[in-house]
């Protein structure tokens, strides 16, 4: 049971980082990045190839590029950085001014394409089988200490990440990003460099995704294309939409509701459901998630907690 609490906390923390990144891109800046999961995957894979050591050293049963044995903080930092870079690359493909729904589909396709290429090229990141036996920090400690130390690390990253996040979502830049979200042309007409702002949020958002992926993979120990299905982006997007687009508190609540309550909560459904059909509990989770997204878009698109804007100076 205690182990399970640890798992939930780590998942919550990494999901928060990812959701904050996606919210910055989509809720605040209006950049519909449905390929966001790729930045998470990039962070995870980067951490993996930075800590696994050379393929040959492990008997070559996994093939991959890189293969360094860097310490945990550096590997995580590398994952964050690569996440940001991938974010920018995705951003560049999204620069063509397409209708928003076309953009969305294009981004989904980018996400699928990335997954397919990684799956197919077995030498790059071990293809469909993915990478395993990824080392976690503190492995020389007592397992319980290790687990809770890891929760502490994730918590610190979340706190730090949140402080950095607020720099981008609040203040003058937050206003300009929201202006871009609300009306891109009008924002350009008042002198905002749309291209620069878009790439900036995709770099920062991508970095958050990379950090999330790196922290997650160090905990789980393995990562494969199955882990970064395009559906995962949908889960994050639901968290952002249901929680409340554009505001960090709403997104935090949304992440808790979606990632924890629903996707993990289904584990607590009676075992009898799984006897009816294996894996039915997870399927139910996705069904509930999909329905929830549709319901919220229909009835309350602003989310559980609607965005509130600050007041300036005295009241009238």
Partner 1 sequence: MSETGPILEVRELVKTYGGVRAVNGVTFTAARGAITGLIGPNGAGKSTALNVIGGFLSPDGGRVIFDGEDVTGWPMHRLARRGLVRTFQLARVFGGLTTIENLLVAAPGHRGESAWGILAGKRYWGKQEEQLVLQAREMLRSFGMEAKADEFARNLSGGQKRAVETMRALMMRPKLLLLDEPMAGLSPSLSRQLEDLFLKLTGEGMSLLLVEHGLDTVERICGKVVVMAQGKVLSEGRMTELRTRKEVQDAYVIG
Partner 2 sequence: MLVQAIEAIGFGIATGAVIALGAVGFSVQFGMSNILNITYGSLMTLGAYAGLFLIDRGINAWAALVIAGLVIGVVSVGFHRWLLAPLVRRGTRAFALVIVTVSAGVVLQYVIVAFAGPDAKSYGEQSGQTFRFAGFLLTASQVTIIALTLVLMLGLHLLLTRTTLGRAMRATASNRILAQSCGINTDLISDTAWLLSGALCGAAGVALAITTVSFDFTLGPIFLIPMIAAAVLGGIGQPYGAMVGGLVVGIAGELAASFANPEYSEVVAFAILILMLLLRPRGLFGSASATRRLTA
* Residues at the contact surface with partner 1, assessed by CB under 8 A: 167-168, 171-173, 175-176, 178-179, 181-183, 185-194, 246, 307, 309, 311-313, 315-316
Minimum CB separation of residue 253 from partner 1 in Å reads 19
Assess contact for 79 and 50: CB atoms under 8 A: yes
| Residue labelled with tokens 């790196």 | 214
Measured from the CB atom, is 71 or 171 closer to partner 1? 171
**Nearest 5°: phi and psi at 279?**
80, 5
Query: Is residue 123 within the footprint of partner 2 (CB under 8 A)?
Result: no
Count the neighbouring beta carbons within 10 Å of the beta carbon of residue 81.
19
| Residue labelled with tokens 């639901």 | 238
Q: Find the largest Cα–Cα distance for the chain.
A: 72
* Closest to 19 in 3D by CA, of 169, 178, 135, 193: 169
Minimum CB separation of residue 193 from partner 1 in Å reads 5
Query: Is residue 293 within the footprint of partner 2 (CB under 8 A)?
Result: yes
In whole angstroms, give the CA distance from residue 10 to residue 72. Answer: 16
* 161's tokens: 């990440």
Give the residue, chosen from 58, 105, 164, 306, that forms a contact with partner 2 under the rule CB under 8 A.
105
Residues in binding contact with partner 2, number by CB under 8 A: 44
Q: Where are the alpha helices (DSSP H) in 130-229?
A: 143-169, 171-182, 184-189, 194-220
In whole angstroms, give the CA distance from residue 158 to residue 154. Answer: 6
168 binds, among partner 1, partner 2, none (CB under 5 to 8 A by kind): partner 1
Query: Is residue 110 within the footprint of partner 2 (CB under 8 A)?
Result: yes
Query: Is residue 290 within the footprint of partner 2 (CB under 8 A)?
Result: yes
Assess contact for 28 and 178: CB atoms under 8 A: yes
Give the residue, chosen from 74, 133, 297, 306, that forms a contact with partner 2 under the rule CB under 8 A.
297
Measured from the CB atom, is 270 or 310 closer to partner 1? 310
Task: Scan residues 20-59 and list those touching partner 2 (CB under 8 A).
Answer: 32
Task: Scan residues 75-94 and list those touching partner 2 (CB under 8 A).
Answer: 93
Q: Which stretch binds partner 2 (CB under 8 A): 36-44, 148-156, 172-180, 293-301?
A: 293-301
Minimum CB separation of residue 264 from partner 1 in Å reads 32
Q: Which stretch binds partner 2 (CB under 8 A): 4-12, 60-68, 129-137, 235-243?
A: 235-243
Residues 6+ apart with CB under 8 A from 257: 239, 242, 243, 304
Query: Is residue 195 within the footprint of partner 2 (CB under 8 A)?
Result: no
Helix axes 36-51, 194-220, angle to 10 degrees: 50
Measured from the CB atom, is 65 or 95 closer to partner 2? 95
In whole angstroms, give the CA distance from residue 116 to residue 114. Answer: 5
* 93's tokens: 């493909």
Q: Which residues bind partner 2 (CB under 8 A)?
A: 32, 93, 96-106, 108-110, 112-113, 116-117, 119-120, 184, 231, 234, 237-238, 241, 277-280, 283-284, 286-287, 289-291, 293-294, 297-298, 301
């Amino acid at each position: 049971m205690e182990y399970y609490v640890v798992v939930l906390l780590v998942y919550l923390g990494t999901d928060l980082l990812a959701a904050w990144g996606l919210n910055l891109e989509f809720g605040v800046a209006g950049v519909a990045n449905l390929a966001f999961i790729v930045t998470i995957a990039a962070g995870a894979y980067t951490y993996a190839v930075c800590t696994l050591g050379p393929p040959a050293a492990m008997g070559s049963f996994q093939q991959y590029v890189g293969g360094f044995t860097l310490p945990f903080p550096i590997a995580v930092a590398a994952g964050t950085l690569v996440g940001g870079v991938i974010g920018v690359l995705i951003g560049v493909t999204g620069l063509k001014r397409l209708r928003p729904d076309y953009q969305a589909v294009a981004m989904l396709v980018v996400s699928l394409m990335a997954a397919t290429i990684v799956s197919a090229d077995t030498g790059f990141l071990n293809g469909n089988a993915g990478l395993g036996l990824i080392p976690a920090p503190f492995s020389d400690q007592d397992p319980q200490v290790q687990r809770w130390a890891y929760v502490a690390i994730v918590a610190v990253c979340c706190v730090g990440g949140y402080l950095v996040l607020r720099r981008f979502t609040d203040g003058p830049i937050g206003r300009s990003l929201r202006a871009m979200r609300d009306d891109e042309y009008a924002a350009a007409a008042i002198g905002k460099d749309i291209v620069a702002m878009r790439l900036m949020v995709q770099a920062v958002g991508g970095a958050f995704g990379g950090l999330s992926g790196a922290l997650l993979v160090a905990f789980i120990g393995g990562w494969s294309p199955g882990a970064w299905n395009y559906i995962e982006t949908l889960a994050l997007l639901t968290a952002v939409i249901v929680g409340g687009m554009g505001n960090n508190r709403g997104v935090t609540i949304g992440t808790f509701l979606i990632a924890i309550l629903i996707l993990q909560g289904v584990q607590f459904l009676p075992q009898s459901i799984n006897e009816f059909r294996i894996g039915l509990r997870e399927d139910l989770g996705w069904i509930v998630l999909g329905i929830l997204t549709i319901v919220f878009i229909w009835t309350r698109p602003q989310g559980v907690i609607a965005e509130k804007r600050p007041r300036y100076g005295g009241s009238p």
